[in-house]
Structures are given as C-alpha cells and as structure tokens.
Structure 1
Amino acid sequence: MKVHLINPPSPGDFGFTREGRCMQKEGVWTTTWPPISLTESAAVLQQKGHDVRVNDCSVEGVDTEKLKGILKEFAPDLVVMNSTTPSLNFDMTMPPLIKEVLPTAKIAAFGIHVGALPEESFALTDALDFIVRGEPELTIVDLADRLEKGTDPSDVPGLSSRLNGTIVHAGDREFVKNIDEFPYPAWDLIDLDNYTLPFSGRQFLMVTTARGCPYKCIYCVAQSYYGKKIRMRKVPKIVDELEYLGDMYGVKDFFFWSESFTIIKKAIKELCREILRRNLDIRWVCNSRVDNVDRELLELMKQSGCWMISYGIESGVQDILDGIKKDVTIAEIEESIKLTRSVGFQIAGHFVLGLPGETKETLHKTYNFACSLDLDYAQFYCASPWPGSEFYRMAKAENWLASDNWDDYEQDKSVTNYPGLSAEEITRFRNRATRRFYLRPKIIWRTMTRMKSPEEFMNFLRMLKAFLTWV
C-alpha cells in the first residue's frame, strides 16, 4: 500500500514544528526540527512492506498547490498528517484538498490535539476518515495493514474512525514497552539539508533516548502522547544509532529527544561513557530538569560532546512553581545554573508567563529572575492551555479562556484572562521581556563572539529574520 506521511504546509509565512508536545514557529529556535514522528512511522511502515513517502511541507517550501501536485504524482492510498493545536484550523483544510485530488484515498490525522479531542476534530471536516490517538507508529501501521487487506480497521487500538457518518472510538493502545524494537527513523525520505543548527549551519538530527514522563506539571501535554512511565532505550542501542547516522549521513550533531533527558542519571552517565569508549566525534544538546543533574553527570556530558543544555525553569516565583506542580525550588534552579556554567556549557532557560496565580508583580519577578541567572538564551512563552493538559481543564472550568479559536493557542500569545491580569497584558509583557533580554549588552556581546566566519554571520542574519516572527 502507498502511504504518504505529511507535515502540512505552514499556517503562516514561517517554518513550523509539529512534533509531539512541541508545537511552535521556527522563530522559537530559528530552526525547524527534523520530523521524527513522521520518519519513525515511515520506518515501521517500510518494515511491513508499505511504499512510503514523507513530506515536511513547511520546511520544503511546499504550499497547498505544490502539495496537490505531489499527491497526484505519488497517488497514495492512505495519507497520514501530523497536526497541532495552533495549526489545527489550517491543518483541517488539508483533508478536503487531498480528497479533491485523490477522491478514494483515506486520510488520518495524529497529534496531541486531535488525540485529546477527537470528536471536535472530526467535526471540523467531513473529509477526515481516521484519528490516531496517543503514540502513533503502531496504530498507523495497523491501519495501513487493515486497509491493504480490505478489512474493517475500526477496532484497531488507539484509532478513532468515521464509519458512515458515525464516529467510532476503539480502545486505547498500550504504550510500546520496548522502544528499541522500532527501526531507526527513515531519514533518507527527507532532505537533511533543511535541518541545520543556528549559527554553524551544520545538519543535525534527533535521536530518541526515552519516552514518557512521571512528573505532574499541569501545563504539559507530553503524557497524553508518550505516557507517564519512563521507557528508556538501552545505551548500546542509542550509541549504535549515533554511529549509524554518522556513517550513513555524515551527521555529527544531535538533539537527544526525550521528555527529560537526564531523568535517569545512571543511564545517562552510562551513555556518556559509551560515547567516550567508542571515541565518537559528535556534538549534542539536550533538555533537562534542574533537579536531575550533578557535577559528575555534567562533566561526563561535556566530555562526550554536549555543548548546550535547555532547562525548563518556568517561573521565578515559588508559589507559581508549586501551583503548577513543578516540584522544584528557586534555590535548586540557581544552584543548577551556576553548576552548569562552571562546567562550561551554553545554557538555555525556558520561562512560561501567564500560569495560574500570575500577576503583574510576578511577571516582573520572573523576568528579573531570568536576568539574574547566567543564561545564554531565554525563551519566554505565553502559557498555552492546550487540550490534553490539566491546565486546559482548569482554564475551562474557571472560565479563564479569552478565545476559543485554536489559531490563538500559540506560545507567543496568551489566551488566559485572570482577575487583575488580562491575556493582552501577558502577551505584551512577554514580547517586551524577550526583546529586553536579548538587547542587554552581555547577551549581544556573547552572540557576536559566537560568529567565527562570514557564513556564520549570514546564518545569524537568517536567524534574526526568523526570530522577529517570534517577537
């Protein structure tokens, strides 16, 4: 069976990442992430003998007219599209467009939003046939297998189906216990030149180290996609993949993809030692909670090629951190940032403005806290109550939502009105905070000294253009 996996065109004049919990414009990091969910699903489909094509349209410059031409040329039997909350309205214009070109093709959507609100998502277009809920790979391949055999797929675990105008929800699919069973992502189906690091312009790829997160942060939607239980890959398997990607594609830069990379410190120390033992010449970045690092771990990470760590800090106010169930303290944040700097990393801090309990005073406290930390990068987001999160359920129950238009559920725009603090005020503060942070002489100096060649300066100008879409 021919299966076409797509990230739809961008909903605006910018690159757009659709990847699990990450639903964001290119301007957030001035780059777009490689589509690991699409390529992992493609690899599983190929393993079962299906003919697969992948298009990451927003990165490839594929608009709706070009997509129609690609669909007509490939003529797939099944089209599977990734979708996110802020791009949902645009994404749901794709099924009618696909049916216009391929009237008999079946169309499925996956992603956190459609999985959390399948009934509402089906209601947006009559042309959508299926919704994949939760972890997508096995549900997609089971759907393709059933369609190829001509048998009813409506009882496939994790699948919601439209049958003769009626929506049928099969039971939930259990999360894959051993994620090492998956083949490597089919990166050969996309153009890797489209995925490059800021400044250096080097190609990079994402490598999954684990899935699942046991923490209870109310704003996060990761558990609805990958579950609460941590499923760690075996260290030799991860390093085998790093070697394979270097040999096959010549890629030496990686983003280790997991909900919190350092959550099992013993395993990550083992991973670093195995990278060193095999003498791999690689560079990599990761995310982490501040309470999951120590000096031994950081030094091993640095020795094995890690050059930047992104920390989820969220707020500079302890009461807000407690209210969102972050389970960290201001002291832990300060200590970990100092420790990380002392080992020699670049550091990114992520801050979420407009969380429950936010006031005008706490907004300023969080900004001042961000400036007091020795960070290289700070990302200021507006708290977005995405379906699938506890925050969304709270916002609906408390009547905080300022909009029911999913286009507004972007991380650069607030949609929550609180007593004494409006969504518009949160958005304006977030924009000012971003500009002010990066216009400080210390940050400007660090940014300029990172550029080592004319090529990196030209990359910086491209980054600046993308970044302006974010502020």
Structure 2
Amino acid sequence: MSKTDVILVSPPSRTKSPRPPLGLMYLSSYLEREGITADIVDIKGYPDKEIFDKIIESIKKANPIMVGITCLSPEVEEVISISKEIKKKIDCYVVVGGVHPTVSPQDFLGSTSPVDFVVIGEGELTLTELLKTVKNEQDLWNVPGIAWFNDDQIVRTKSRLPINNLDELPFPAFKKVPMNYYTFPNIYAVRGILLSAFFIFTSRGCPFRCKFCSNKSVFGRRVRHRSAKNVVDEIEYLVNNYRIDGFYIYDDTFTINKQHVLNICEELISRKLDLIWGCETRTDLISEEIIKKMKQAGCIQIDFGVESGSQRILDILKKDITVSQIKNAFNICQKFHIRRFANFMINTPGETEEDIQKTINLAKELNATLNIFNVTTPFPGTDLYKEIETKLSPKDYSKMASKISFKEFIEFIESRCKFSQHNINLDVLLTDLWKEFPNVQDLSFRLNKSYVKGIIKELLFVVDMKYLKVINKSKRKKEYLKWLMDIILKKEKQSGNKL
C-alpha cells in the first residue's frame, strides 16, 4: 500500500464545532504546494462514541508517514489517547502542534509517550522541513521550531522566526474539509446572525499583553498583515465556489492598523461583492472614520472584549483600555447602526462584589446587542496560569472547557482556579446574568421585561435592509428555511418531552 505523506487530524471533541480547522487547512495547502501529499481528517455527522474509531479508520486507509494533530489545552488527554491508538495501529510518526504544544511541549514528550515531535509556533515551514528531514534521515537539529525526547531528556531546536510575508502562503485547503457543513447557515460565524459564512484571517500576531490570553505564544507579538487584494481574492473565491453570503474576520484585533482596514473595505466595495460580515477588535482602536467605512463595506457586527466595568480589574488584566474608551466605542457603533457583541469576564483576579456590580451596570449602559459572560480560566501560556498556586495536569486541562460538563467545569474553577475575592457561587452568578442578558448560547424565551427587550433587539437583524438584500440574492434560501424548520421542530420536541 502506498503511503500518504501527512495526515492532519482535528481532535474528536471538535466533531460538532462550527469553526473550521483553519490551522490545519493552511498547513495542508502549504505542504501540498511543496510537493507533499497532505490530507485532513475532520469528521462530522457521527455520534460522539463513533468519532474516535472513524478517525483511526481514516488514518489507517491513508497509511501516512506522519500524522499531525492540533491541540488546545482542554484537548490534551484526548490527543494523547488518540496518539497511543495511532501508534498501535499504524507505523508512522506522530506530531502535535497548536497552542498547548507550543506553550507546554513537555506535556507530550517522554520515554513512554506516543508523540514523536512537537511543532512549536507557526507550523507551515516547520512541518514541511520536519517531514523532509525524517524521510531523508537527515539531522533534526537543522529544523527550527521542534522538540522531541532524546537520550532521556526533552530537547528542542532554536525558535522559528514568524512568516513575514503572509501573501506568500496559499489559501487554506478548502477542498480538504467538509465545507458544506461549515457554510450551511448558522448563528456562530457572525454570532447571533443566521448566515452562510466562513472565517478569514487577514493578519497574524498580537502586540497586546492581556493576562488571560495565550494567542501571542503561537503567532507572536509582531503583527503581520496580508494585502487587501490577497484577502478579498480569498473571499471572492469562497463566494464563487461555496456560495457564502458573509464572513467573519478571525484576527485577534482587526482594526489595529487603520490603513489595512480601509484598504480591505475599499477592495470589498470596489468588487461589489455585497456581503455582510463581522470581526473582533479592541474598544481603543475604533474611530468614526473606520466604522463608517466598515459599514459601507458590509460590516454588520463587531465583537469587543469589554471584560469588566471596573477600571481596577481592567488594569489588573493588563487590558490597557479605560471604561470611557469602552463607552465611546459602543456609542460610535450605535451611531452607525453596527451590532455590538460584548464579552465580559467573571472570576477575575481580586474581583469583589463591587466589581461585579460595576460590570453589570456597564453592561446595562452599553446596551449591547448580545452579551456573553465568560469564566476566567488560567490556560497554560497565559500570565494568569503563572498565578495559580498548584500547577495543573493533563487531566485537569480537560476540565477547562464547559463543553465537557458545565457542572464539572464550574466545580473545577471554584476548587482550583478561583481568582475572585467574593464568595458568590459562580454557577449562581452566571445563572442570574443569563436571566438578565440574552446571549447567543441560550436564546430561550423568558418572561422578563429586560430580557424580552434584549431578545427583540437581537432579532432585529431580520429586518435590516442590508441583511434582507443579502438573503434575497442568496443561492442558499432553501438551507436558511431548513435551519429555521429544524429549530422549530427541535423546540416542539423539547416541549413534548417536558409534557
């Protein structure tokens, strides 16, 4: 049986994720351009208990020389588990990469570990060189950005410099993943808005120093931008080949470079693509000039990391923004009728009941279209991780995501990662906040005046003229209707079960 060079694997727990494995897609397209066959295993549509076996089955069929697995902190246990199974069934190298392997390579390497190599940082060049090196039995020390276990110790080569010219990277390998799944109308791309959309990176890197974020560990603090033409070429390709009606800019901070934003907006306008889109940015990087141009180019929503209504907490988190800047950004967006998605944090270091009340007061004043309240979690690679009293194990990491079990997640945070000074139970606090503020995770109806007003505000996008124009010309009208029917039937089934 002939061998595929590389199989790139999305972990089993991502089987229901609406977000595509863009990192793997970039790796695959780059490897293929370099003459290396590289497929992606990203399985959807099977029950959870079958996904693990389906992944192994797919890898066995490909018979690869190397298997690469991406990994976030809550996925460490499952990635190690599937790596063991791969080693049992297939004669190949196992490589892990992504955020957690980059910040904690020691969690994957050892005398009994099934993992052969860890890729540290950006992976396109590193994985390409690593594959060529092992195939040709050359010296591993000549490959920057890797770690492995050698002579009873973990060794690593010098760091890999970030890719400078992002335009040199090929587009992600769209044909290697189930694009029908990712582009089917949903409310998770531009969160809260029913839309057939896809995710786009226009830059890499983040210069800011937020204590709770580890993204800078992979892409670095120096920001590198794609050209406007390159970005919109990709968007236009997605329109022509996958019939998307919108997109979400996945950059950590889209508006960090004013001219970059204006150039992309001008390119979108000049090509008359008539799409709607959203992005994420900081409240101190907003101006009327930028928002006006973004609105003209189809921007319908901006996600902001507000975090707290307490200036003291913002300073502790090293957000380097002020409450007045937050208010100003929301006022500008409201002036230009841009939807506002507000991310808040609870369980922040030193948080008191007074700080919580300031956050609630600010949330009411901002009057965001949607709010979400996140529980501060000290992921490895963040400054917060250094502040917890006892270091965590791979078993602990798996509890750092509420998708496994919300109850277990809250119990873990309360017992091991409690940063706040107040004695309010986090579960009770979140429940109270969700009763007051609508959020995209739970848009159920509640007989609460402020909540009902919030739901109405959230659903006003259905009468937005820009949205209606996009849907009217969409080639996916039947899919939008199917999504709505599925939601109605699901609600009816839930009501029937309650009876």
Q: Do the structures match in fold with TM over 0.5?
A: yes
CA 1:461/1:162 → structure 2, altered by over 3 Å: closer, same or farther?
A: farther
Q: Using the TM superposition, give the Cα deviation of residue 164 of structure 1 relative to its aligned residue in structure 2, in angstroms.
A: 5.8
Aligned with residue 71 of structure 1, among 45, 51, 59:
59
Q: Contact 2:6 / 2:64 at 8 angstroms: preserved in 1? A: yes
Q: Using the TM superposition, give the Cα deviation of residue 135 of structure 1 relative to its aligned residue in structure 2, in angstroms.
A: 1.4
Q: Contact 1:143 / 1:153 at 8 angstroms: preserved in 2? A: yes
Whether 1:49 aligns to 2:35 is: yes
CA 1:72/1:395 → structure 2, altered by over 3 Å: closer, same or farther?
A: same
Whether 1:206 aligns to 2:199 is: yes
CA 1:248/1:71 → structure 2, altered by over 3 Å: closer, same or farther?
A: same
Q: What does 1:234-383 correspond to in 2, within 5 Å?
A: 234-383=227-376
Q: Contact 2:349 / 2:420 at 8 angstroms: preserved in 1? A: no
Q: Using the TM superposition, give the Cα deviation of residue 36 of structure 1 relative to its aligned residue in structure 2, in angstroms.
A: 0.7
Q: Using the TM superposition, give the Cα deviation of residue 273 of structure 1 relative to its aligned residue in structure 2, in angstroms.
A: 1.2
Q: Contact 2:110 / 2:153 at 8 angstroms: preserved in 1? A: no
* CA distance, structure 2, for counterparts of residue 463 and residue 139 of structure 1: 46
Whether 1:36 aligns to 2:22 is: yes
Q: Greater RCO between the two (CA within 8 Å, min separation 6)?
A: 1
Q: Contact 1:54 / 1:190 at 8 angstroms: preserved in 2? A: yes
* CA distance, structure 2, for counterparts of residue 331 and residue 187 of structure 1: 42
Q: Contact 1:109 / 1:132 at 8 angstroms: preserved in 2? A: yes
Partner of 1:20: none
Q: Contact 1:341 / 1:374 at 8 angstroms: preserved in 2? A: no
Whether 1:457 aligns to 2:484 is: yes
* CA distance, structure 1, for counterparts of residue 306 and residue 490 of structure 2: 24
Q: Using the TM superposition, give the Cα deviation of residue 456 of structure 1 relative to its aligned residue in structure 2, in angstroms.
A: 4.9
Partner of 2:85: 97
Q: Using the TM superposition, give the Cα deviation of residue 200 of structure 1 relative to its aligned residue in structure 2, in angstroms.
A: 6.5
* CA distance, structure 1, for counterparts of residue 490 and residue 249 of structure 2: 22
Q: Contact 2:116 / 2:149 at 8 angstroms: preserved in 1? A: yes
Q: Contact 2:204 / 2:224 at 8 angstroms: preserved in 1? A: yes
Q: Using the TM superposition, give the Cα deviation of residue 130 of structure 1 relative to its aligned residue in structure 2, in angstroms.
A: 0.9
User: Which structure has the bigger radius of gyration?
Assistant: 2
Kindly provide the CA deviation profile for residues 342-391 of structure 1, in whole angstroms up to 9, marking residues without a partner as x: 21112111111112121233223213322321211112111111111111
Q: SS at 2:254's partner residue?
A: coil
* CA distance, structure 1, for counterparts of residue 44 and residue 379 of structure 2: 22
* CA distance, structure 1, for counterparts of residue 195 and residue 486 of structure 2: 11
Q: Using the TM superposition, give the Cα deviation of residue 204 of structure 1 relative to its aligned residue in structure 2, in angstroms.
A: 2.1
Q: What does 1:437-448 correspond to in 2, within 5 Å?
A: 437-438=437-438, 439=446, 440-448=451-459
Whether 1:86 aligns to 2:74 is: yes
Partner of 1:23: none
Long gaps (5+) in structure 1:
17-31, 466-471
Q: SS at 2:292's partner residue?
A: helix
Q: SS at 1:147's partner residue?
A: helix
Kindly provide the CA deviation profile for residues 123-147 of structure 1, in whole angstroms up to 9, marking residues without a partner as x: 5961111111111221111112212
TM-score by length of 2: 0.82
Q: Contact 1:130 / 1:159 at 8 angstroms: preserved in 2? A: yes
Q: Contact 1:160 / 1:169 at 8 angstroms: preserved in 2? A: yes
* CA distance, structure 1, for counterparts of residue 205 and residue 321 of structure 2: 19
Partner of 1:416: 417
CA 1:78/1:403 → structure 2, altered by over 3 Å: closer, same or farther?
A: closer
* CA distance, structure 2, for counterparts of residue 462 and residue 299 of structure 1: 40
Q: Using the TM superposition, give the Cα deviation of residue 202 of structure 1 relative to its aligned residue in structure 2, in angstroms.
A: 4.2
* CA distance, structure 2, for counterparts of residue 404 and residue 435 of structure 1: 32
Q: Contact 1:257 / 1:286 at 8 angstroms: preserved in 2? A: yes
CA 1:336/1:201 → structure 2, altered by over 3 Å: closer, same or farther?
A: closer
* CA distance, structure 1, for counterparts of residue 302 and residue 395 of structure 2: 35
Kindly provide the CA deviation profile for residues 97-119 of structure 1, in whole angstroms up to 9, marking residues without a partner as x: 111220x2110111211211111
* CA distance, structure 2, for counterparts of residue 371 and residue 124 of structure 1: 54
Q: SS at 2:252's partner residue?
A: coil
Long gaps (5+) in structure 2:
403-408, 439-445, 464-479, 493-499
* CA distance, structure 1, for counterparts of residue 155 and residue 36 of structure 2: 26
CA 1:59/1:325 → structure 2, altered by over 3 Å: closer, same or farther?
A: farther
CA 1:291/1:81 → structure 2, altered by over 3 Å: closer, same or farther?
A: same
Q: SS at 1:86's partner residue?
A: helix
CA 1:48/1:401 → structure 2, altered by over 3 Å: closer, same or farther?
A: closer
Q: SS at 2:159's partner residue?
A: coil
* CA distance, structure 1, for counterparts of residue 252 and residue 485 of structure 2: 33
Aligned with residue 189 of structure 1, among 161, 173, 176:
176
* CA distance, structure 2, for counterparts of residue 112 and residue 297 of structure 1: 31
* CA distance, structure 2, for counterparts of residue 392 and residue 34 of structure 1: 27
Kindly provide the CA deviation profile for residues 386-432 of structure 1, in whole angstroms up to 9, marking residues without a partner as x: 11111111224xx698997112222664342247436x823442343
CA 1:400/1:134 → structure 2, altered by over 3 Å: closer, same or farther?
A: closer
Q: What does 1:148-187 correspond to in 2, within 5 Å?
A: 148-163=135-150, 166-187=153-174
* CA distance, structure 1, for counterparts of residue 482 and residue 214 of structure 2: 38
* CA distance, structure 1, for counterparts of residue 432 and residue 75 of structure 2: 25
Q: SS at 1:135's partner residue?
A: coil
Aligned with residue 10 of structure 1, among 13, 17, 40:
13
Q: Which amino acid aligns with 2:22?
A: I
State the Cα RMSD in Å.
2.7
Q: Using the TM superposition, give the Cα deviation of residue 436 of structure 1 relative to its aligned residue in structure 2, in angstroms.
A: 3.0
Q: Contact 1:59 / 1:194 at 8 angstroms: preserved in 2? A: no
What percentage of aligned pairs have identical amino acids?
Answer: 27
Q: Contact 2:350 / 2:420 at 8 angstroms: preserved in 1? A: no
Partner of 1:29: none
* CA distance, structure 2, for counterparts of residue 417 and residue 257 of structure 1: 30
* CA distance, structure 2, for counterparts of residue 51 and residue 232 of structure 1: 28
Q: Which amino acid aligns with 1:5?
A: L
